[in-house]
């Protein structure tokens, strides 16, 4: 194991030089697991602080059969994950995008699920360590990003229903390309834009008021797999869910948040405990305001989709995904995608900042 040096200059645990790349087919990256050399682990007992973390080679982990994560959703519902990405700039630097925001969201989610969580500094330091150790896995500029998946889980043993007595925080990394085969192609090259075709689910809901839909917990993902599989078998890209009470208002897509554009107004469902507060969602709202759009967070009736000029999705994995059609009650609503689209403009600015092509005046990026 390599012991991470919290808040000190980063040490390089590998024998690789800074300009060396891992043996990866960079031109054909999808969103599959391609594990980078190192992962990062730290633990803590309930109500104590996390100990200093360690880097080790990517490997399987050992868990007690009675771990809270496996038995009571501190594996399924309480296990919790975030995600953040590292990008390589044209001049060879590696930039992280808003890891502090992911850290704060992890803390909020952990609190809801009665889990101990690392401090914001510990989280950000861990992300820096893992990105630095896996530098040769950060794709060349324009080819994708290094996706880092921090997990927090109840790893201590329980039998009765209770929070686990020990927590494990872990980050692994994998280089990735586009989440959907459709979507904008990388780094401000809008050629090849292939819009997403969404299906509005009427049987299943994603979250209910008072539940944990607003928390990025693994328990929000297994239940949507069936709806996704059904939609995919009918040729759709992903599923858009409606609220569970009225079955009338837009919530989110299985893997990302949703926005609609009408004239100069960009709207997204208000987060009310059932919708994930995406870091990309928040960043896009800021960027949209900078571009002069009026941004509204509100309840959006499904009927508004008919009159929308554009619809797009946002997420760490998805980035910004333009929507080409939405099918609801056997009716297909189509959206025109063209040069100068609002989502294209927002995408270019976001990715420009993430990759160092556009000056980061907001202090969102961290160079490692």
Catalytic residue IDs: 216
Q: Considering the rule CB under 6 A, would residue 316 count as an interface residue with ligand COI?
A: yes
Least Å from the CB of residue 58 to ligand COI: 19
316 vs 354 by CB, closer to ligand COI: 316
Which residues, 48 to 77, sit near ligand COI by CB under 6 A? none
Q: Kindly tell me which residue out of 68, 141, 150, 315 binds ligand COI, with binding defined by CB under 6 A.
A: 315
Least Å from the CB of residue 264 to ligand COI: 27
Which residues, 140 to 199, sit near ligand COI by CB under 6 A? none
53 vs 150 by CB, closer to ligand COI: 150
How far apart, in whole angstroms, are the C-alpha atoms of residue 197 and residue 364? Answer: 31
SS3 257: strand
- Name the segment binding ligand COI (CB under 6 A); options: 62-70, 88-96, 284-292, 311-319: 311-319
C-alpha 67 chain-centroid distance: 25
71 vs 314 by CB, closer to ligand COI: 314
Q: Kindly tell me which residue out of 196, 284, 317, 353 binds ligand COI, with binding defined by CB under 6 A.
A: 317
SS3 68: helix
| Number of residues engaging ligand COI in binding (CB under 6 A) | 5
Least Å from the CB of residue 6 to ligand COI: 25
Burial class (CB in 10 A: 0-12, 13-18, 19+), 339: exposed
Q: Considering the rule CB under 6 A, would residue 217 count as an interface residue with ligand COI?
A: no
71 vs 347 by CB, closer to ligand COI: 347
Contact 215, 178 (CB under 8 A): no
All residues at 6 or more sequence positions from 64 whose CB lies less than 8 Å from its CB, including other chains: 155, 156, 157
How far apart, in whole angstroms, are the C-alpha atoms of residue 181 and residue 149? Answer: 21
Least Å from the CB of residue 278 to ligand COI: 7
- Name the segment binding ligand COI (CB under 6 A); options: 11-19, 313-321, 323-331, 332-340: 313-321
Q: Kindly tell me which residue out of 45, 83, 271, 272 binds ligand COI, with binding defined by CB under 6 A.
A: 83
User: What Rg, from alpha-carbon coordinates, does the chain have?
Assistant: 20
Total residue count of the chain as it appears in this document: 368
Roughly what angle, to the nearest 10 degrees, separates helices 99-112 and 279-290? Answer: 130
Residues 50, 54, 55, CA angle at the centre, nearest 5°?
A: 145
110 vs 317 by CB, closer to ligand COI: 317
55 vs 239 by CB, closer to ligand COI: 239
How far apart, in whole angstroms, are the C-alpha atoms of residue 151 and residue 79? Answer: 7
How far apart, in whole angstroms, are the C-alpha atoms of residue 96 and residue 86? Answer: 5
Residue 310: beta bridge partners? 261
Least Å from the CB of residue 263 to ligand COI: 28
Contact 331, 268 (CB under 8 A): no
Least Å from the CB of residue 101 to ligand COI: 12
Q: Kindly tell me which residue out of 41, 116, 145, 255 binds ligand COI, with binding defined by CB under 6 A.
A: 255
Residue 108: beta bridge partners? none
Residues of the shown chain interacting with ligand COI in the complex, contacts defined by CB under 6 A: 83, 255, 315-317
């Amino acid at each position: 194991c390599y012991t991470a040096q919290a808040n000190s200059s980063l040490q390089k645990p590998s024998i690789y030089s800074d300009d060396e790349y891992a043996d990866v087919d960079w031109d054909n990256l999808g969103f599959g697991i391609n594990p980078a050399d190192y992962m990062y682990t730290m633990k803590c007992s309930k109500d104590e602080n996390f100990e200093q973390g360690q880097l080790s080679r990517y490997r399987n982990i050992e868990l007690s059969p009675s771990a809270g994560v496996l038995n009571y959703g501190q594996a399924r519902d309480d296990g919790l994950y975030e995600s953040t990405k590292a990008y390589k700039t044209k001049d060879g630097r590696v930039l992280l995008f808003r890891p502090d925001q992911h850290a704060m969201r992890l803390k909020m989610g952990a609190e809801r699920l009665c889990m101990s969580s690392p401090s914001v500094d510990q989280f950000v330091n861990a992300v820096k360590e893992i990105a630095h150790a896996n530098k040769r896995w950060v794709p060349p500029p324009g080819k994708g990003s290094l996706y880092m998946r921090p997990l927090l889980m109840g790893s201590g043993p329980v039998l009765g229903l209770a929070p686990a007595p020990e927590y494990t925080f872990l980050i692994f990394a994998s280089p990735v390309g586009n989440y959907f085969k459709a979507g904008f192609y990388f780094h401000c090259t809008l050629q090849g834009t292939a819009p997403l075709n969404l299906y509005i689910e009427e049987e299943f809901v994603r979250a209910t008021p008072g539940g944990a839909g607003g928390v990025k917990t693994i328990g929000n993902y297994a239940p949507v797999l069936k709806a996704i599989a059904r939609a995919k078998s009918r040729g759709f890209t992903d599923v858009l869910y409606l609220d569970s009470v009225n079955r009338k208002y837009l919530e989110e897509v299985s893997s990302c948040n949703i926005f609609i554009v009408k004239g100069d107004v960009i709207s997204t469902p208000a987060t009310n405990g059932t919708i994930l507060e995406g870091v990309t969602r928040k960043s896009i709202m800021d960027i949209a305001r900078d571009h002069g759009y009026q941004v509204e967070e509100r309840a959006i009736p499904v009927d508004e989709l008919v009159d929308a000029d554009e619809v797009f999705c946002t997420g760490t994995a998805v980035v910004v995904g333009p929507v080409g059609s939405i099918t609801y009650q056997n009716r297909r609503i189509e959206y025109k995608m063209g040069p100068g689209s609002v989502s294209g403009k927002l995408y270019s600015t976001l990715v420009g900042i993430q990759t160092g092509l556009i000056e980061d005046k907001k202090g969102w990026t961290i160079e490692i």
